[in-house]
Each structure stands twice: as structure tokens, then as C-alpha cells.
Amino acid sequence: MRSPSEIETCHITFIPDNIIAEAAVGDNLLKVAVDHGIHIDATCGGAGVCGKCRVEVQGDYRLSEADYLHEDEQEAGVLACRCEVLGDCTVTVPEATRVTGTLPSRSEGSTRRVRLTGLDADARVHECGVSPLLTKQCVTVEPPAADVGSTDRFRLAAALEKQGVPLRGSLIDIELMRRMPTVLREQDGQVTATLSAQRDDAICGGLPLLVNLETGDTSEKLYAVAFDIGTTSVWAQWLDLKAGTVLAEAADYNDQIRFGADVINRILACKKEGGLSRVRQAVVDTMNRLLEQMAEQCGLPLTSLAYAVAAGNTTMSHILLEVDPRHIQLAPHVPVTRFFPPVKAATLGLSLDSQAPLFSIPNVSAWVGGDIVAGALVAGFTDDDPMTLYIDLGTNGEIVVGNKEFLMSASCSAGPAFEGGGIKHGVRAMKGAIEDFHLNGPDAEPMVLTIGQARANGICGSGLINTVAALFLAGVLQPNGKYIAPDGIRRLRETEDGLEYVLVEAANSAGGQDITLTEVDVENLLRAKAAVFAGITTLMSEVGMDPSMFDQVLIAGSFGQSLDVERAITIGLLPDLPLDRFRFIGNGSLAGARLTAQCMDGFRWSEALAHRITYIDLGVNPRFMDDYVAGMFLPHTAGHLFPAVTELLRRQKDG
Amino acid sequence: MRSPSEIETCHITFIPDNIIAEAAVGDNLLKVAVDHGIHIDATCGGAGVCGKCRVEVQGDYRLSEADYLHEDEQEAGVLACRCEVLGDCTVTVPEATRVTGTLPSRSEGSTRRVRLTGLDADARVHECGVSPLLTKQCVTVEPPAADVGSTDRFRLAAALEKQGVPLRGSLIDIELMRRMPTVLREQDGQVTATLSAQRDDAICGGLPLLVNLETGDTSEKLYAVAFDIGTTSVWAQWLDLKAGTVLAEAADYNDQIRFGADVINRILACKKEGGLSRVRQAVVDTMNRLLEQMAEQCGLPLTSLAYAVAAGNTTMSHILLEVDPRHIQLAPHVPVTRFFPPVKAATLGLSLDSQAPLFSIPNVSAWVGGDIVAGALVAGFTDDDPMTLYIDLGTNGEIVVGNKEFLMSASCSAGPAFEGGGIKHGVRAMKGAIEDFHLNGPDAEPMVLTIGQARANGICGSGLINTVAALFLAGVLQPNGKYIAPDGIRRLRETEDGLEYVLVEAANSAGGQDITLTEVDVENLLRAKAAVFAGITTLMSEVGMDPSMFDQVLIAGSFGQSLDVERAITIGLLPDLPLDRFRFIGNGSLAGARLTAQCMDGFRWSEALAHRITYIDLGVNPRFMDDYVAGMFLPHTAGHLFPAVTELLRRQKDG
């Protein structure tokens, strides 16, 4: 992971618009152009197939291979979609490549896409300080003597007591008793004890004071691992708790995906004979893979990890600890517990030392889990003044609203649309997925951009939002989510199920077939965004407030990262607020897990937060259903909730 | 097990002595006679072989088969050794059967053998009251509701809180979390929680408040098992903790015997690759066998046992918990620990419920273990005034001296003589072992009695003491442990290694060979008794006292049960005190384990005792070596330490 300060930047000057764009070294030129409102023809998603994005470039750049080859390639410039900028460049966009007209934007006069500031998790973690959940103390025990009471345990306790750690009277885990005779004799009595920071505290409750025992002096090394156990992906960071830094990071899809994409299917898989054990093993396998990758990156043994902290949604937490999640699925959705005890990670099958504990960040309810608690914690609004909306978008759009005065949460069953599910050509956010979309002028010709600039293979969640917003603003989609009459719009066509818009034609797609957006797809997106927005309005109404009162909106999750906030507001997913009130949190769950691993107070706060955050069950809330139905329009039935979007539409109509 | 009050007694009148003996129904007639000083010829050990113990019996009795058949059997009466009394009887001992002369005895004029009163463990346990280490509470949890925080854990905590058990905030074992969703839904929410009695107490320290969880109401049933883990035998009692009674008892040889008879050999076996695990499994197998036997006796499932308490010597405790005992064997003899945490019994392989804990009674030192602590506890002298000697005889003669003011302990390496080890014809105390011995008149013809009235196969520890005492009092053995000149004593004969006395001739023995007692055997016994007595004098000298100051002597262990205290004094093993100061404790370790299992205070006392009892290492004590050498005589070099024995010898000499 590179921190923002480590990224080298360069300047790209676009001619003839004379727009100077700041870009990162290695950025794709087409993306830089799109992000800065420079419209360049591109109908293949940036896959180097259609050959339409030809520009002239002077400066430091590198070209990757293109499928599209033109005889007079050298003379005619380069394909922007194949060009990676390596330093300052000047780019001349020829007349043939430029498109006329600009997308409507609230940013008066400017076409530049708004980049939101992200949360600096590093800074937040350092702000909280480094005070690990477990500490180490190196001592040298006296050699055995024939004195009364001169047991190994006594010698260790005496040595620790000299260092101000009163072990006497504490029960010692039988496993450590078993280790003692060897460990105490290997390096002339020099041993390092891992101690729980606060014996009777909620954090380490249930943990004995003495957690581990190693030969020699390892007290200068203290490592832990932080996990974000997502339904789709698992992220991990190897933390150096002495330096307060991240030594390695790894991520991979959760192996549980083979049991189903969402938590409901995972729970169903757990209900089968031996299912819980199998589903659990899958995530453990994933975690072990990440552990090994990180160990290799760090050049450190897995046994050097003193403990692990895991944040996950309630179902993931249950499954990881092999606690039956079935009653989460069934009404009234009762988890076994919200708070988990520290568990020896090795008993779960994790490749840590047999004594190293795994701490779980507590959950709020069946549908608001430790991942949200962790994210809210690291976002830092829960003890501050600004009225905040914290939102993590996915199959379940989990939201937390409030500030230091109150905190409420809900989970909006958004359905899988944000993850490309239930959409005719929906795909996950992977290479080839359409993630950006623009319309070129009055004939509604599209410009699509795919992840990794590959031939398009479908549309992902953020692409869906961007596409619907663009089609809506261009007047191709009506407020009710239906297309206008297709007259004169080549890309719109009739099917048995209604109209559909051709995003990418067969010739340019990866699969050799048209990639389209149907009216059913749009309806599914409307359901999803209506559920989330209704969740927001319902929570705010509980305290007599409305969404205009948010001082800030924090967007978490990897989906959030790729979200075009302006367009998300346009479709009515996010509240219509000035863009400077929005911030990306990134993987709040992972950052929160890191924070709690590194900072005892952090863990304590997570416990307090799980208690403080009130859960509102939208499924039984009458207000929610009303708001949901009202949200099934673009941007919303109640136009006054989206004043800027309404004004934009009015201006556009007038203009 | 029958309590003393359940034993039916009857009266046996011996003619012509006119001695009325009280006997138990079922007692062997020869043993009744011997115990009451009636001397009857018996040279085959009571095996029904020699035919010498013929008597006439009138009354209620039963005969078992005899090998010895005589033509005129009916007229000539019955063999006393084959006769079991069933009610009051009159026994006429014919002239031919009676022996002349009586054994010298301190009991002026009486030849009756002194029966010591035993400890009534039942009474002692009831005196302490029944307050189990774990308790049960039946509650009915509310059905799950869609309320905030309505987790299984919350529902259980709320139900318990209603009953005054504040579970909130307590960490709950992950295994119980895993059980919760099923258990809470099986019987309409009715569950029984097993709770640790005192959360922060030394006893249950490390145990969470909630120890177990069962479906339905089992609160009226609370069982535990008490174990005495002996090096040789394992004893167990199934306790009904509601009634305060013993429902079943079982005992068996410790399967570890195959790794060696004593703790040193067990430790050596543990030091081999994988040895600890194998040796541990052996005792676990033994314990599981006893558990199954008792479960069958009770008609109760093993899962109904709430917990186990085990008392054993320090090595046995280490091995059972799979803690390496090797440093116990090597100087300076450092155990890993004296205090063990409660451990889930199932993790040790015991057939208890997976949550049921095993509590270990703490040890004092490498050589004074939890068995001695348990015995001292149940003997009850540790908080009382009388100056007490508590002694458990075996390979190690463990002794505790003191009262409520001070407590000191030591382990005297007696060697294996008390268990028949190192003795030419030594055997364990099993059927056929010579356990009693008398001399008939001036020609020193023997009368031997074996365990189970079988043909003799050797001599056991108590038999050895009895035999040496008798030979010494008869003047056949000299104070230095050497035989007198064999002139005129048919049973004494010369060998290459010195003189030996023929206890049983080949014709009457089980193996068809002479069973003898050699001078080397006698020396080995002298070493053993000298070590024990020197231990006693050394401990007393530490507080400026001597053995005459004991108000009581408590003899524990199965060996103690068969010990003839008068003769043990005669050889200088036990202090020369009035016989009414001696009491048998029986299996103090088992009784102590039962007491601690049944009574929380009992367990607390055992912890306190392990702290209070000072351990004196005789191996490095100069006084001990002096006293040991002085003890290598019969009864002792310092005759003033054995005034009554000295007086007896003087009287005998004069007479």
C-alpha cells in the first residue's frame, strides 16, 4: 500500500481546451481525460479495440498493445486508452476525436469531475496512539533452586513481579504450563511474556494475565494482524505495533463465495449437515492464504503474530467463530451474540501461534455488524459534533446516522444491484466491467470506460449508477425509470420486456454480444437506491430531522471508492448536499480493525459503540415503506429533497 | 461401600479361653481368632492346605472348600481358615490346635489385638456441609423478539439476572456460544445453567461465571466425580452433590504401571519421544474405565457429571494435565507448578461433557502432592489444637506434622520395601500375600496368615513389618537386624548371603518353594522405617519438639489400613505413643477429593493448605542423615525414644 504522499504526480495539458490535469504517474490517459471533463470518443470501453480515441501526445508516456491496428498508426497519433502517462505530457485531441457538448454538471461552468477527499486511516490511527491489546515483557528467571516453592511458575512470577507485573495468584493457562519447563530453560532463563493489558477489562476479559510465553527476548517485536472479513473479499494487514505501521497488506476473494454470493446463501449452506464447519473452513483457508502472503512480504514467521483482530458483519463473525448463524436469517433475526470472547486463533484453524488470541469487533444487530462498528470507529464522527451519515453500500446498504449525541443504524436490503446482481449484463467490479459512461450529444451516442480498459463484459454497480444518471440527465430515461420513445436514438431498441439501451455493440464487447441496459435493470437499481435513501430518511425522521441536515456524508466500502457521488445524488441514492460534505472512507472495516488492534482505547470504543448504536429494524417500520415507495423515481417523488438536481434539470430543460 | 453402621456384627465365644469376640458377619474365623489373641496353628497362611487349624464350631457359619481333606473330617471339626461366621458362634479350640505361650504385648495381660478407630470420612464431609464448586440454575428464556439487542446471549443473561445471577458483562466461553442457539430453543426456552460459585475466587479463577448450559431443568441433579490418582491405584467416587452422598465407587490399578512401578520410572517413560502423551493416556484410560463402571452402578450418563476433582501426587498431577514432569526427578526437583488451573476434562480425554472442568488439588512440593494436601484436609487437624503426625506410607513416606499453628511436611524416600519391593519374596498386598505372622513358643515355629486365606505367594509390606516385629520380640532377630545363632531353631538356616528364616515351607506355598525372610530383606525394611522415623524426628526438631509430643498420629493410605500399629511401633517405624493416639484415615486422598468436590470451603482450604504447609527437603538436611543412621536399629539406637518397647523388652528378658 502506498500512502497518498508517496504517489508521484505529473501534469497533462489538453489542447485545444488548454486544461491542465494533475495525474498520477502510471495513470491511463483516457481516464485522466474523462476525469477532467475532456470528452474523447471511446465506444469499446477503452479496450484498444474501436480505435476512436486517437490523440497526439508529447512527453513521457508508454503504450500498451492494442487490438486495433491502423496502417498509418505512427502519423495518426496514439490511442488514449492504451497510453500510460509517465511524466508531464501535452495531449492534442484532434477534431475527429473530440465530442461536442458537455455533460450537465452542478459544478457551474466546470466539467471537471469532483474527486472526493479520502480518509487518512494512517493519520487517524496515529491520532489514537499505539497502545496494543497485548504487551510484551522480557524477564530472566532465576535458576531453579531447592527452595520451598521453587516451581517454574513461581520463578516466572517472581521475575515478572520484579518488573512490576504481579502474576501471583493469577491462573495460568494449562497450555502455557506445558510450555514452561522448556521455555524457561532454553536461553538461560530469558523469556518474553505476552501479557493482556487489562485483566478485568471488557477487552481482555476472559483472557488470563499471561497470554503467551516465548524463549529469549522478543519484546522489541510485537506484531498483530487485522482482518476485514467481508462477504465477498477478505482483507488483512500485518501490523508492526511497536512502529505503528503496516508492514504488509493482502486481500483475496472470500473462499466462501462458492457457497453463495450473499450472507443468506452462506447461512443456508451452514444449515446443511456439517455445513457450518465447511463454510467456516473456507474463510479460514482464505485468511491463512493472506497470512502466508503477508509473512512472505514481511519476511517474518507467522508465529511472531501476537494476536489478531477481525471485523466482519454479524454473519461472518458467527461463522468464523463456528457459532451457528441460522437464526440471523429467520425472523425475528436473532444472532447468538453481539459480543464474542477472545478465542485462541489456532483453535479456529488459523496459522497463528497456539496461544495467540483472535479478538472480534462486536456487532450491533443481525444486520449491522462489526465491520460497520469498525468503520464508524475509524471515521471518528461518533464522538464529534457534525451530524453525520456513514454509509457502506453493498447488498445490504448499512447506514449509521448521528454524532456524539446519538447514533442510529439500519440495514437497507438494497438487493444485489450495486454489485451487478439482478442486472441483465451485470458483473462484479472486475476487469472489463463498464464503470463509467457518458453520452455524446443529442443523438445519445455513448462513451463507455471499463475497468482495466479491457473489452466490456458487462456493467458493474458504479457503472450502473453512472449510466442511469447520464441517461436520465440526457432525458433518455424518464423520472419513472422508463426510456423515452426511441425515435431517432439508434441505441434504444424494443424488446419483449420493454425498451433497452445498447451500451456496447457486439463488435466491441468481450463476449461478442450487445451489452444493454433494460428497463427491468433500471427498476432494480431504483429499488436499491430507494431502499437506501428511505433508510436514511427513516433514521433521520426518528429524531425529527431530514437528510439536508447532514454536515458530512462518509462513504465506506470498495464500492464507495469507485462511486461518482454527483451521479449517485442525481439518481437519488445519496442526499442532495454540497459535494464538499462527502468523503470516502475506503475500507473502514479494515482500518477500524487496524485501529482496534493497535489501540486499546480503540477496542474499548468499539465495545462502547456496539452498545451506543441503536438499531432500527426497517423491515417493521411503516415510515420506511412509505419512503421507499416515494424513492422509486428519479431522483425522488419529493423533488424538494433534491433541490440541486431539480434545479439542474430545470436549467437543462430551459437551456 | 458400606458405612460402619451398615455392617452386621455377631459374637464369637472362644472355649476354653472364654473370650468373647465381636466379629462382622462374613468374617473369616481364623482372622477373628488372631485379632483377639487366640492362637491357632496355621502354617499355610490360612489357605486350607495344612489342616492344622481344626476347631469345633457351634452356631451359624459357612464353610468354603479346602484343599486339605481328612478322612474323619466330620468328627474332627472344621478348619478355622475355611470358616466364615454368619452369626453368633461358640468355638472350641482343641488342645492339639492351641499353641502355648502368648506374644508379648503392651496391653497388660490382654492378648487382644488393638483395632484402631478409623476416620469417618462421611461424617467429616457432612460436618463441612455441601456447597458444591459449581451450582445450577434453571431459567426459562423469553422467546426471541425483534427488539434491539435480542440475541440468544442477551435472552439468557436477562433470564439469569431475574434470578439474581448477573451474567451481563461476563465473557462467555465460545463453546457455550456454539451450544446456545440449539439449547435455548429445545424445550421452550427452559435451560439449566451451570455456574461457577465464585468468579474471582482462587478456586474458580479462570473459569467463566457460566460454565455450562443444558436443555431443560436439570437443576435438581448435580453430580461430580472425585478421583484419587495414585501411582499404583486410581480410586473414584461418584458424588450426589444435592444429597451429599456417594452413589458409586470404583478402583483399579493405574494403567501407568506398565511404564514402571514408581514415579521415577513414570517420569523416565515420559521423557521418551511421545512418552508424556502415552503415559498420560494410560491414566486417562484407567479413569474412563472407572467412570463407566460407576455410571453403570448409578444408572446415570457420564454427561451428567458437572465436574471432577482430582488429588494425586505432584508427578501424577503433572502427567494427568500433560505437563512435563521431568524436572521433578532431577535435582533440585522443580515442579512446573503447584497450582493447576481448572481444565476442561474432555480436553484431557476424560469421558465427561465437553464443558465439565477438572479441578486439581494443589501440591506442596515435588514430593508432597495434592494427595497429601487432600488427606490432611479431610483429617481435619490442620485447623485444630492437637499436635498431629499425618503419615501416608508407601514408596515415599509422606508426612505432615503440626496443627493450626504450623504445618511442616517432608517426603522420606522409604524405598519400595513397604510395597514388597526389594524384598526377596516381596509381593504387593494381593491374595496370597503373607500379611500376619505369629511365633509359636520357644522353638520359634511360625503361624502365618495370608490375604484371602490363600496359599502364600510372598510377603507384603504389612506382613513384613508384622513378621520382623514378631521375630524381634521373640529374640530371633537382634536389634541390629541380624538373626541370632540358628541353633535349635528349625526355621532358621544359613545361605550364602547370611541367615534366612523360612516363613512358609515349599509344600504349603503357592509356588512350591520356600518363602523366606533374609537378613538383606530385614535391612531393607530397616532402611525404610529409619527414613520415615528420621523424617518425623527431623520435622519435629525444626520446631524444637520430639515425637513424644504428638497428641495424635493419623495413618493414611491403603497400606496404613492393614498396618498393625503396635508392631510398627515395635520396629521403630511409628513413634512410641499410647495406641489410643493412633487413627486410620484410610484413603485420605480420595476422601479429601470428595470433600473438596462437595464443599467450596474445602477447596479453598486445600489451596490455603498448599500454601501453609512448609516443605522440608530431607535430602539436604544434615539432621535427617544423623537420625536416619540412628534409626537403623530395632527399635532405634536411642532407646529413650521408644520407652514402651524398651520396657516390654526388659520385661520379656526378665520374664
Contact residues on chain B for A181, CB-CB shorter than 8 A: 323-324, 326-327, 336
Higher per-residue confidence, B318 vs B127: B318
Give yes or no for residue A38 having a pLDDT over 80.
Answer: no
pLDDT at B3: 42
Is residue B185 within 8 Å of B158, Cβ to Cβ?
Answer: no
* B169, B177, B341 member nearest A202 (Cβ): B169
pLDDT at A220: 94
pLDDT digits (tens, 9 = 90+) for A340-382: 989 999 999 999 999 999 999 999 999 999 999 999 999 989 9
pLDDT at A531: 94
pLDDT at A655: 63
Give yes or no for residue B4 having a pLDDT over 60.
Answer: no
Per-residue pLDDT, averaged over A501-526, amounts to 92
> What nine digits make up the cell of B237?
467416587
List the beta strands (DSSP E) in B198-332.
210-215, 223-229, 233-240, 245-253, 305-312
Give yes or no for residue A234 having a pLDDT over 90.
Answer: yes
Give yes or no for residue B643 having a pLDDT over 90.
Answer: yes
* Mutant choice from B168, B171, B203 vs A, greatest count of A C-beta within 10 A: B171
- What is residue B466's three-state secondary structure? helix
Number of residues that this document lists for chain A = 655
Residues forming a β-bridge with B459:
B426, B434
Name the most confidently modeled range: B51-60, B72-81, B351-360: B351-360
pLDDT at A406: 96
| Spacing of C-alpha B619 from chain mean position | 25
> What nine digits make up the cell of B560?
496404613
Worst-scoring range by mean pLDDT, B33-47, B142-156, B490-504? B33-47
Sheet of strand B515-518: strand arrangement: B492-495, B498-504, B515-518
pLDDT at B101: 37
Contact residues on chain B for A205, CB-CB shorter than 8 A: 169-171
pLDDT at B439: 80
Strand bridging mode B515-518 / B498-504: antiparallel
Q: Do B205 and A171 touch (CB under 8 A)?
A: yes
Give yes or no for residue B180 having a pLDDT over 80.
Answer: yes
B50 by Cβ neighbours in 10 Å (0-12 / 13-18 / 19+) ranks as buried
pLDDT over 90 percentage in chain A: 53
Cell 493414611 sits on residue = B556
Worst-scoring range by mean pLDDT, A197-211, A549-563, A605-619, B133-147? A197-211
pLDDT at B108: 37
Comparing alpha-carbon positions, the chain B residue that sits nearest to A326 is: B181
pLDDT band at B198 (very low <50, low <70, confident <90, very high): low
Query: Tell me, what DSSP letter sits at residue A438?
Result: E
Residue A471 has φ and ψ, to the nearest 5°, of -65, -35
- Tell me how far apart the alpha carbons of residues A277 and B495 are, in angstroms, rounded to a whole number: 73
Give yes or no for residue A4 having a pLDDT over 50.
Answer: no
Amino acid identity, residue B587? N
Query: Tell me, what DSSP letter sits at residue B286?
Result: H
pLDDT digits (tens, 9 = 90+) for A618-651: 988 899 999 999 999 999 999 999 999 999 888 8
Q: Do A336 and B208 touch (CB under 8 A)?
A: no
- Tell me how far apart the alpha carbons of residues B473 and A66 are, in angstroms, rounded to a whole number: 115
Task: Count CB pairs under 8 A between chains A and B.
Answer: 142
pLDDT at A146: 62
pLDDT band at A470 (very low <50, low <70, confident <90, very high): very high
The nearest CA of chain A is from the CA of B621 a distance in Å of 12
pLDDT at A100: 42
Give yes or no for residue A73 having a pLDDT over 90.
Answer: no
pLDDT digits (tens, 9 = 90+) for B69-123: 554 444 567 888 888 899 999 898 876 555 443 333 333 333 445 556 666 777 8
Per-residue pLDDT, averaged over A268-275, amounts to 95
- What is residue A215's three-state secondary structure? strand
The nearest CA of chain A is from the CA of B347 a distance in Å of 11
Give yes or no for residue A253 having a pLDDT over 90.
Answer: no
Q: Do B341 and A172 touch (CB under 8 A)?
A: yes
Mean pLDDT of chain A: 86
Comparing alpha-carbon positions, the chain A residue that sits nearest to B339 is: A171
pLDDT at A321: 97
Residue A41 has φ and ψ, to the nearest 5°, of -55, 140
- Tell me how far apart the alpha carbons of residues B426 and B420 are, in angstroms, rounded to a whole number: 4
Residues forming a β-bridge with B83:
B63
Please name which of B26, B114, B130, B102 lies closest in space to residue B453, comparing C-alpha atoms.
B26
Sheet of strand A210-215: strand arrangement: A134-140, A190-196, A210-215
Q: Is there a cis peptide before residue B16, judged by omega within 30 degrees of 0? A: yes
pLDDT at A108: 37
pLDDT at A218: 94
pLDDT at B568: 94
Worst-scoring range by mean pLDDT, A115-129, B209-223, B404-418? A115-129
Comparing alpha-carbon positions, the chain A residue that sits nearest to B150 is: A334
Higher per-residue confidence, B619 vs B3: B619
Give yes or no for residue B1 having a pLDDT over 80.
Answer: no
**3-state SS track over B319-339:** HHCCCCCHHHHCCCCCCCCCC
pLDDT at A199: 45
pLDDT band at A499 (very low <50, low <70, confident <90, very high): very high
pLDDT band at A451 (very low <50, low <70, confident <90, very high): confident
Comparing alpha-carbon positions, the chain B residue that sits nearest to A319 is: B178
The nearest CA of chain B is from the CA of A317 a distance in Å of 12
CA distances for B254 relative to B195, B285, B318, B351, angstroms:
32, 9, 15, 17
Please name which of B113, B68, B62 lies closest in space to residue B89, comparing C-alpha atoms.
B62
Residue A390 has φ and ψ, to the nearest 5°, of -105, 125
Is residue A584 within 8 Å of A375, Cβ to Cβ?
Answer: no
Q: Do B177 and A337 touch (CB under 8 A)?
A: yes
pLDDT at B182: 94
- Tell me how far apart the alpha carbons of residues A590 and A1 are, in angstroms, rounded to a whole number: 13
pLDDT digits (tens, 9 = 90+) for A138-156: 999 998 876 655 899 989 9
Is residue B434 within 8 Å of B463, Cβ to Cβ?
Answer: yes
B69 by Cβ neighbours in 10 Å (0-12 / 13-18 / 19+) ranks as exposed
pLDDT digits (tens, 9 = 90+) for A167-185: 766 678 899 999 999 999 9
Q: What is the ipTM of this complex?
A: 0.81
Give yes or no for residue B68 having a pLDDT over 50.
Answer: yes
Contact residues on chain B for A152, CB-CB shorter than 8 A: 327, 334-337
pLDDT at A198: 54
Cell 449510466 sits on residue = A467
CA atoms within 13 A on the CB side of B16: 6
Higher per-residue confidence, B612 vs A441: B612
pLDDT at A277: 96
Give yes or no for residue B493 having a pLDDT over 80.
Answer: yes
* A154, A169, A343 member nearest B174 (Cβ): A343
Beta carbons within 10 angstroms of residue A168's beta carbon: 11
pLDDT band at B199 (very low <50, low <70, confident <90, very high): very low
CA distances for B32 relative to B5, B399, B450, angstroms:
19, 32, 14
pLDDT at A6: 59
**Enclosing H/E stretch for B139:** strand B134-140
Per-residue pLDDT, averaged over B361-370, amounts to 94
Mean pLDDT of chain B: 86
Contact residues on chain B for A151, CB-CB shorter than 8 A: 334-338
pLDDT at A48: 74
Number of residues that this document lists for chain B = 655
pLDDT at A214: 94
Give yes or no for residue A194 having a pLDDT over 60.
Answer: yes
